[in-house]
Amino acid sequence: MFDPALKETFVTFGVSHFIAVAIIFTIVGLIVYNKDRLRESRYLNVIRYTLVILTLGQEVSLNIYRIVMGEWVIATSLPL
């Protein structure tokens, strides 16, 4: 899972980076486009808490990854 050999495989502004950015922009765009429908949806709380859990999970997993890889530094690893 935390293979040091995979550390150098991500290329900034490479194909995989642009695909990830496109997916994120698409999801955000769909949320903004459907904001009125989402507000009236009975699943609003489910959507809201799912986004919160995904955001917190991403931050926690990033810090766990940095700890395992030996890259966790308080000056650069804490959010904001």
| Each residue's pLDDT tens digit, 9-44 | 777 888 888 999 999 999 999 999 998 998 888 888
Q: How far apart are CA 40 and CA 62, in angstroms?
A: 34
Domain presence at residue 65: yes
Q: Are residues 30 and 50 in the same domain?
A: no
> Which sign does the torsion angle of CA 45, 47, 50, 54 carry?
negative
Q: Are residues 46 and 80 in the same domain?
A: yes
Could you give the CA distance from residue 48 to residue 38 in angstroms, rounded to a whole number? 10
Alpha carbons 59 and 41: distance in angstroms, whole number: 28
7: its two tokens: 């550390």
Instruction: Give residue 65's domain range.
Output: 42-80
Q: Is residue 74 part of a domain?
A: yes
Residues 31 and 49 in one domain: no
Token look-up 């808490």 returns 49
Please check whether residues 78 and 50 belong to one and the same domain: yes
pLDDT tens per residue across span 48-79: 999 999 999 999 998 998 898 888 888 888 87
Rg (CA), the chain: 17
Count of domains in the chain?
A: 2
Inside any domain, residue 78: yes
Query: Does some domain include residue 26?
Result: yes
pLDDT greater than 80 at residue 2 = no
pLDDT: is 6 or 31 the higher one? 31
